[in-house]
């Protein structure tokens, strides 16, 4: 397709890099409102990457995916998340702290690079894309595991999905079905998440997941 | 020849119809009829390799038969089970309606996952099956049920995400020899041209697919969603979950393994399967001794058996693994049905609640005892055969692994027999409702009988079918 130093290549990787940067911000940010805004920015970046790839690959399918991404992930989800956050009055939550979080993020990014970079460049034109999207995915998983509130974990999950979207659009010629259904299924997943929020709130008066630990059965 | 779309469309259509039937008695009858029709039509499926989306191979057809049969048994059980739940006001009529609709949707997605010859479609089907089962698990709306389905959803959500990444990477690997577009997403086409794929990309794809679908297959250490989901969900669904969702995931892992095995440059997938399988057997067999809830207890037993089957595939005994999966699915379906009926009669599902079942309800108690014996792989049930095959294959190829495996199996069997004594024998705890109608023993005893016929007697056509199946699965 393209090589380093060409606009197609540089632009695509710039957008992927920006998305990865937002993942780092998500990892250490503590205020819930800011976390939602960062997620929105990441979703917009993914949509932009989608439009860029549709331009490069001359693919109408990818353009449609971009529109769906923009409408659902960059506009729909954030509105709902802000509404949930407003209803719950969540406090600042604790996580690892800025430096340990960034260290963890750096470690995971290096891991992704080490895993993907041995692939010869000729064999896979998209190996850098793969490395970036794997980093975003791993950072999303890290957000899910280091956060205690269900709302932040949800945003971690959505950020994992952003990483997947980056991978799917970066692989040339991948049939549309997957992207569209991903967008669609995440929508369903999100609705279910929403139902959960309300049920959990009714019953535990808090989104903190450690209230849910009662499920672990006590030994006899 | 029957189109593979037919057995998929019936449950999908039934799910839509069941969403609008307010009476739970009529809904149960429609559910049963739809399941029976799906099973009968699925019996007419034959392997063929044309078709962009659904192109069943032997593996897919085998598990379609099994899944639709187990779904039929579970649908039969659902009628009386849901009626009691509504009477006891644990379930509102509206939620019962949702239950019936989701039951059929769940089955439909499982069948799509088995019959699909497209990695993307397989992923979508398993994702959709997970979503519908998450809702079913939380359907009673009690705090514990919501907790269980939340955990189920979070863990499986992560698994699904990893599996999708694996799917994308697998497409990337396959698109080099096969070109861009649909051929590079076909399981069948990939298996034939895997040798030309880049080995490093294939490795990456395998790791993610194994982690992702391994979560669904409840392989240790990714099994933690399963006990809660089994304990809190309606019991007929536990019966289907215990066998079928797991089988679909293992099918996908087997297909991936076949692709990898065709490429000489990749990591050996068998060793990883071996390690994960053994770990599951050992962890689950120890966990069995610490459980006080019956459904949770048998969920751990499922993890152990699933691990055993995966171990068999790893050791290079696919025939034993497939036979074990098949027989275990049937035995577990019987067991969960007995357990569900027993828990309703005793008004609780802990070991303290259910005691001396033979004294209070003789046919149900005896059936439960028989199905526990079947799951523990003791004669006269067929699992002893597959277990013996796995052990002898282990002794022949990796003798030093036979010891830990044997310890795990013996520990689990001892736990099962120990619990059999308290559940079925001795003085009875009081019954809250009447005895089980004899007609409801049919879906319990039929699978048990089948484990004897398939495993012990093994008529020539059955043996030939399993041999073909093993040949298709192995690289």
Q: What is the pLDDT of residues B410-429, one digit of tens each?
A: 999 999 999 999 999 888 88
Kindly determine whether residue B167 and residue A178, on different chains, have CB atoms separated by under 8 Å. Answer: yes
- Residue A204's pLDDT is 43
- Residue A198's pLDDT is 52
Global pTM value: 0.90
DSSP B351: T
Residues of chain B neighbouring A133 (CB-CB closer than 8 A): 165
Average pLDDT over residues B209-226: 87
Kindly determine whether residue B161 and residue A192, on different chains, have CB atoms separated by under 8 Å. Answer: no
Partner B contacted by A174 (CB < 8 A):
yes
Residues of chain B neighbouring A187 (CB-CB closer than 8 A): none
pLDDT in tens, B81-111: 999 988 888 888 888 898 999 999 999 999 9
**Which residues 77-96 of chain A have a CB within 8 Å of chain B?**
none
Return the residue in B168, B173, B181, B292 with the most chain A beta carbons within 10 A, the one to mutate for interface testing.
B168
For chain B, percent of residues with pLDDT exceeding 90? 47
Kindly determine whether residue A185 and residue B128, on different chains, have CB atoms separated by under 8 Å. Answer: yes
- Is the pLDDT at B53 greater than 60? The verdict is yes
Q: In chain B, what is the greatest distance between 2 CA atoms, to the nearest angstrom? A: 68
Kindly determine whether residue A196 and residue B153, on different chains, have CB atoms separated by under 8 Å. Answer: yes
- Is the pLDDT at B308 greater than 90? The verdict is yes
Kindly determine whether residue B131 and residue A192, on different chains, have CB atoms separated by under 8 Å. Answer: yes
Angle between helices A7-28 and A98-116 (to 10 degrees): 140
pLDDT in tens, A89-121: 655 666 677 888 889 999 999 999 998 888 776
Rounded to a whole number, what is the distance in angstroms from the first to the last CA of chain A?
62
The pLDDT mean for chain B works out to 89
- Is the pLDDT at A178 greater than 70? The verdict is no
Partner B contacted by A196 (CB < 8 A):
yes
Q: Which of B123, B138, B181 has the CB atom closest to A175's CB atom?
A: B181
Lowest-confidence region among A22-26, A169-173, B274-278, B429-433: A169-173
- Residue B447's pLDDT is 93
pLDDT-based confidence at residue B255 (cuts at 50, 70, 90): very high
- Is the pLDDT at B299 greater than 80? The verdict is yes
pLDDT-based confidence at residue B278 (cuts at 50, 70, 90): very high
Residue A19, min C-alpha distance to chain B (Å)? 17
Average pLDDT over residues B109-114: 93
Angle between helices B294-315 and B269-287 (to 10 degrees): 160
In the three-class reduction of DSSP (H, G, I as helix; E, B as strand; rest coil), residue B45 is classed as coil
Partner B contacted by A122 (CB < 8 A):
no
A–B: how many Cβ contacts below 8 A? 116
In this prediction, the answer to ipTM > 0.90 reads no
Residue A56, min C-alpha distance to chain B (Å)? 16
- Is the pLDDT at A217 greater than 90? The verdict is no
- Is the pLDDT at B12 greater than 90? The verdict is yes
pLDDT-based confidence at residue B390 (cuts at 50, 70, 90): very high
Residues of chain A neighbouring B135 (CB-CB closer than 8 A): 192
pLDDT-based confidence at residue B450 (cuts at 50, 70, 90): very high
Q: B182: burial class by Cβ within 10 Å (0-12, 13-18, 19+)?
A: middle
Residue B127, min C-alpha distance to chain A (Å)? 8
- Residue A94's pLDDT is 62
Kindly determine whether residue B148 and residue A171, on different chains, have CB atoms separated by under 8 Å. Answer: no
DSSP B463: H
Return the residue in B120, B184, B263 with the most chain A beta carbons within 10 A, the one to mutate for interface testing.
B120
Query: DSSP secondary structure string, A171-214?
Result: STT--HHHHHHHHHHHHHHHHHHHHHHHHHHHHHS--BGGGGGG
Lowest-confidence region among A62-76, B230-244, B440-454: B230-244
- Is the pLDDT at A184 greater than 60? The verdict is no
Average pLDDT over residues A132-138: 92
pLDDT in tens, B29-42: 999 999 999 999 99
- Is the pLDDT at A213 greater than 70? The verdict is no
Kindly determine whether residue B198 and residue A168, on different chains, have CB atoms separated by under 8 Å. Answer: no
For chain B, percent of residues with pLDDT exceeding 70? 100
* Cis peptide preceding A122, ω within 30 of 0: no
Backbone angles phi, psi at B293, to 5 degrees: -100, 130
- Is the pLDDT at A194 greater than 60? The verdict is no
- Is the pLDDT at A215 greater than 50? The verdict is no
Nearest to B326 by CA among B414, B213, B243: B243
Lowest-confidence region among A35-39, A80-84, B119-123, B412-416: A80-84
């Amino acid at each position: 397709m393209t090589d380093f130093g060409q606009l197609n290549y540089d632009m695509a990787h710039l957008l992927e890099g920006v998305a990865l940067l937002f993942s780092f911000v998500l990892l250490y940010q503590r205020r819930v409102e800011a976390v939602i805004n960062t997620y929105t920015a990441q979703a917009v970046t993914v949509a932009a990457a989608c439009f860029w790839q549709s331009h490069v690959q001359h693919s109408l399918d990818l353009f449609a995916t971009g529109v769906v991404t923009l409408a659902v992930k960059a506009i729909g989800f954030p509105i709902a998340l802000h509404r949930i956050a407003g209803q719950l009055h969540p406090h600042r939550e604790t996580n690892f702290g800025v430096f340990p979080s960034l260290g963890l993020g750096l470690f995971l990014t290096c891991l992704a690079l080490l895993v993907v970079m041995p692939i010869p460049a000729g064999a896979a034109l998209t190996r850098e894309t793969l490395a970036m999207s794997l980093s975003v995915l791993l950072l999303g998983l890290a957000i899910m595991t280091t956060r205690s509130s269900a709302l932040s974990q949800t945003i971690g999950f959505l950020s994992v999905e952003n990483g997947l979207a980056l991978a799917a659009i970066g692989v040339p010629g991948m049939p549309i079905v997957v992207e569209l259904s991903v967008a669609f299924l995440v929508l369903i997943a999100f609705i279910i998440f929403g139902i959960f929020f309300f049920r959990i709130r009714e019953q535990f008066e808090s989104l903190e997941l450690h209230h849910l630990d009662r499920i672990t059965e006590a030994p006899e | 020849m029957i189109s593979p779309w037919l057995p998929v469309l019936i449950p999908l259509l039934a799910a839509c119809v069941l969403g609008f039937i307010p009476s739970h008695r009529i809904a149960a009858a429609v559910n049963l009829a739809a399941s029976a029709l799906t099973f009968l039509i699925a019996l007419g499926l034959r392997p063929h390799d044309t078709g962009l989306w659904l192109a069943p191979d032997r593996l897919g057809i085998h598990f379609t038969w099994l899944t639709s049969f187990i779904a039929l048994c579970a649908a039969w059980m659902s009628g009386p089970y849901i009626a009691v739940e509504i009477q006891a006001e644990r379930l509102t009529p509206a939620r019962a309606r949702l239950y019936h609709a989701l039951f059929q949707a769940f089955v439909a997605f499982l069948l799509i996952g088995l019959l699909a010859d497209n990695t993307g479609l397989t992923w979508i089907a398993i994702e959709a099956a997970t979503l519908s089962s998450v809702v079913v698990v939380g359907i009673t709306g009690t705090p514990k049920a919501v907790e269980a389905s939340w955990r189920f959803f979070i863990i499986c959500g992560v698994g699904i995400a990893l599996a999708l990444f694996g799917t994308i990477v697998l497409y990337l690997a396959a698109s080099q020899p096969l070109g861009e577009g649909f051929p590079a997403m076909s399981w069948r086409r990939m298996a034939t041209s895997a040798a030309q794929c880049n080995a490093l990309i294939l490795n990456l794809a395998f790791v993610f697919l194994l982690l992702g679908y391994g979560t669904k297959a409840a392989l240790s250490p990714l099994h933690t969603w399963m006990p809660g989901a089994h304990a809190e969900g309606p019991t007929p669904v536990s019966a289907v979950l215990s066998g079928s969702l797991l089988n679909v995931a293992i099918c996908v892992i087997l297909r991936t393994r076949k692709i990898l095995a065709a490429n000489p440059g990749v990591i050996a997938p068998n060793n990883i399967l071996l390690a994960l399988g053994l770990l599951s057997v050992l962890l689950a067999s120890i966990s069995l001794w610490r459980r006080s809830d019956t459904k949770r207890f048998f969920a751990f037993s499922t993890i152990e058996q699933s691990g055993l089957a995966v171990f068999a595939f790893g050791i290079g005994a696919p025939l034993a693994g497939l036979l074990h999966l098949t027989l275990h699915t049937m035995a577990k379906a019987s067991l969960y049905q007995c357990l569900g009926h027993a828990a309703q009669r005793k008004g609780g599902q802990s070991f303290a609640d259910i005691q001396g079942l033979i004294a209070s309800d003789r046919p149900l108690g005896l059936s439960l005892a028989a199905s526990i014996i079947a799951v523990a792989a003791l004669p006269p049930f067929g699992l002893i055969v597959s277990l013996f095959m796995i052990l002898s294959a282990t002794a022949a190829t990796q003798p030093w692994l036979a010891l830990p495996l044997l310890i795990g199996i013996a520990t689990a069997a001892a736990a099962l027999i120990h619990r059999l004594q308290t559940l079925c024998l001795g003085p009875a705890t009081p019954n809250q409702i009447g005895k089980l109608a004899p007609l409801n023993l049919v879906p319990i005893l039929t699978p048990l009988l089948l484990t004897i016929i398939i495993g012990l007697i093994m008529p020539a056509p059955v043996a030939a079918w399993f041999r073909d199946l093993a040949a298709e699965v192995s690289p």
